[in-house]
Amino acid sequence: MLALVSTVEWINVEVLDPLIVCLLLGAGIWFTLRSRCLQLRLLPLAFRLLHRSFSARSDAGSGVSTFQALCTSLASHVGTSNLAGVALAISLGGPGAVFWMWVMAVFGMATAFVENTLAQVYKTRAPDGSFRGGPAYYMEKALGQRWLGVIFSFLLMAAFGFSFNAVQANSVSAALADAFGLPHLLSALGLVVLSALVIFRGLHGITRFAAKVVPVMTLFYVAISLFIVLSSIDQLPAILSLVVRSAFGLDHAVAGGAGYMVSQAIAQGIRRGLFSNEAGMGSAPNLHATATPSPAHPATQGLVSMFSVFFDTLVICSATAAIVLVSGVDYGGEQTGIVLTQAAMKATLGDFGPAFIAITSLLFGLTSVVANAFYGESSLRFISGKDRWIPFYRVLVLVMVSWGALTDLPAVWTMADFFMLLMALMNLVVILILSRQAFVVLDDFEREHKQGLNPVFLSRKLPNMGWRIDQDIWGDSKGQ
């Protein structure tokens, strides 16, 4: 077993990491240039579309609203990776890793638009009237390669349904034990019960839960972080300088090893950025495909989806990084992950700090578990086409949650990264192939919006591909 884990870790570090770094940056830069920097040009419009979706929530019918889909996507993104993952990136890659997380987020916003727009275009209607979609569906419908979608679905189920949920539970359990001395067994039982109460309510239960919990917990965490940063505002210029110098190896403290430190900063920043905001990984499209956008156009959801990357990395991950760097704790020592974040909080807020991180970790971890569980359900439905295996799958998810809360998981982290990187590799190649269609959709949306019209998408607007799109959704007499 140890030999297998070592081999997988070698593949992650030596093969997949460099390949994904090149693909992520290359795809993000290309999407940014091709769309004329849509993440900057259209961010105000995306905000107005998000605001508009509030009034459309009650009109979503059998689907979910744009806002609910965004919150549920954020529920998966905003997890313990924002608390533990950022601290881990800093401890392994230095403060410069934060800079590369920012770079990943800026370009990742364009990548998120492409994959989530494609998910909307190629979504399908389930027997209960709700929508299903994601990378597996556009692999099958747009490329005509169902086998590719099946492989992707297995990877997604293994990564999110099982591995990442064990990792989330492990971080929550560690935080509660450190702050309150809570036995891991009690943490495991509590997480299983709370997760089950949401997971067994299905998609609508998950989206309603996320829409209520995610905005509150995110704003509260950011508010506390801002308080800490403003309390040490005099340190902020030095911290920002440290991040930039470390990102490019300009710090004299690492002279002689600058090349290695820069490579570590880039690798850790991009890997943790991908794990945190998931742009390009192919997970979020499974949720954004379930939405009924308003206006009824795939680009609506694609534009709004950029907010999940923006908030997750540029706001929440930056908040955690600021807490760690402002606190003065030794981020290069033995403490790492969630324990390092708690130590930083304790240094700035006293005994309240670890308790706050523990409670935040519980909320972040819980929302991630239930959203990740849905990703796995979506994958299982694509593979089997039926719901009869869903209850069994949900039980397995809860087993993984309890196991993760009770066990040290270095091997699971390695396997989770492996599955994640393979998912990202498959999805990035596919969306690069299909990106032209996403930009045709974007051009159609912008043209109608500039004419003062309410943008409406019809399958015939996509040359030579309209026949592959579900006509009851995007046809001339669609049933949205």
Query: Would you list the domain boundaries of the chain?
Result: 2-473
Nearest of 447, 154, 449 to residue 282 by alpha carbon:
154
Helices (H) and strands (E) in the chain, counts: 23, 2
DSSP 291: B
Considering the chain, what percentage of its residues have pLDDT values greater than 70? 83
pLDDT on residue 255: 47
Q: Is the pLDDT of residue 457 over 60?
A: yes
Instruction: Work out the burial of residue 301: count CB atoms within 10 Å of its CB; fewer than 13 is exposed, 13-18 middle, 19 or more buried.
Output: buried
Q: Residue 153: which pLDDT band, with cuts at 50, 70 and 90? A: very high
Nearest of 76, 110, 2 to residue 378 by alpha carbon:
76
Cα–Cα distance for residue pair 416/309, rounded to 1 Å: 20
pLDDT in tens, 208-229: 776 677 777 777 877 888 888 7
Nearest of 291, 235, 306, 271 to residue 59 by alpha carbon:
291
pLDDT on residue 160: 86
Q: Identify residue 261 by its one-letter amino acid code.
A: M
Bin 292: left if φ > 0, else alpha if -120 < ψ < 50, else beta. beta
pLDDT in tens, 238-280: 888 888 888 787 664 444 455 556 666 776 677 666 666 678 8
Average pLDDT over residues 55-64: 52
Cα–Cα distance for residue pair 250/264, rounded to 1 Å: 14
Residue 40, classed as helix, strand or coil, is: helix
Residue written as tokens 């965490």? 221
55 vs 95, higher pLDDT: 95
The partner residues of 64 in beta bridges, in order of sequence, read 291
Please state, rounded to an integer, the average pLDDT across all residues of the chain.
Answer: 81
pLDDT on residue 59: 46
Q: Is the pLDDT of residue 282 over 50?
A: yes
Q: Identify residue 46 by its one-letter amino acid code.
A: A
165 within 8 A of 365, measured Cβ to Cβ: no
124 within 8 A of 473, measured Cβ to Cβ: yes
pLDDT in tens, 386-400: 778 889 999 999 998
Angle ∠(300,58,454) on CA atoms, nearest 5:
35
78 within 8 A of 316, measured Cβ to Cβ: yes
Q: Is the pLDDT of residue 52 over 80?
A: no
pLDDT in tens, 398-453: 998 888 888 776 677 777 788 888 998 999 999 999 999 999 999 999 999 999 88
Nearest of 357, 368, 381 to residue 176 by alpha carbon:
357
pLDDT in tens, 162-176: 888 888 888 788 778
Average pLDDT over residues 186-203: 83
State whether CATH 1.20.1740.10 applies to domain 2-473.
yes
Q: Identify residue 257 by its one-letter amino acid code.
A: G
69 within 8 A of 78, measured Cβ to Cβ: no
Cα–Cα distance for residue pair 144/353, rounded to 1 Å: 52
Residue 127, classed as helix, strand or coil, is: coil
H or E segment to which residue 125 belongs: strand 124-125
Q: Is the pLDDT of residue 58 over 50?
A: no
**Residue 46, CA distances (Å) to 98, 304, 305, 358, 464 in order:** 26, 5, 9, 33, 29
Query: Could you tell me the pTM of the whole model?
Result: 0.86
341 vs 136, higher pLDDT: 136
Pairing of strands 124-125, 131-132: antiparallel
254 within 8 A of 32, measured Cβ to Cβ: no
Task: Name the range with the highest mean pLDDT among 17-26, 45-54, 257-266, 271-280.
Answer: 17-26
Half-sphere exposure of residue 146, counting CA atoms within 13 Å on the CB side? 4
Cα–Cα distance for residue pair 349/342, rounded to 1 Å: 10
The partner residues of 124 in beta bridges, in order of sequence, read 132
Average pLDDT over residues 350-370: 78
Average pLDDT over residues 458-475: 81
SS (H, E, C) 81-102: HHHHHHHHHHHHHCCHHHHHHH
φ and ψ of 223, to 5 deg: -65, -45
pLDDT on residue 215: 73
pLDDT on residue 117: 95
Average pLDDT over residues 3-23: 81
Alpha-carbon torsion angle 411, 417, 422, 425, nearest 10: -160
Least confident of 183-187, 192-196, 317-321, 353-357: 353-357
Instruction: Work out the burial of residue 477: count CB atoms within 10 Å of its CB; fewer than 13 is exposed, 13-18 middle, 19 or more buried.
Output: exposed
φ and ψ of 306, to 5 deg: -60, -25
Dihedral sign of CA atoms 398, 401, 403, 405 in order:
negative
Q: Is the pLDDT of residue 188 over 60?
A: yes
Cβ neighbours for 321, distance < 8 A, ≥ 6 positions apart: 86, 90, 95, 98, 101, 243
Instruction: Work out the burial of residue 348: count CB atoms within 10 Å of its CB; fewer than 13 is exposed, 13-18 middle, 19 or more buried.
Output: buried
pLDDT on residue 66: 72
pLDDT on residue 389: 86
**Number of Cβ within a 10 Å radius of residue 37:** 15
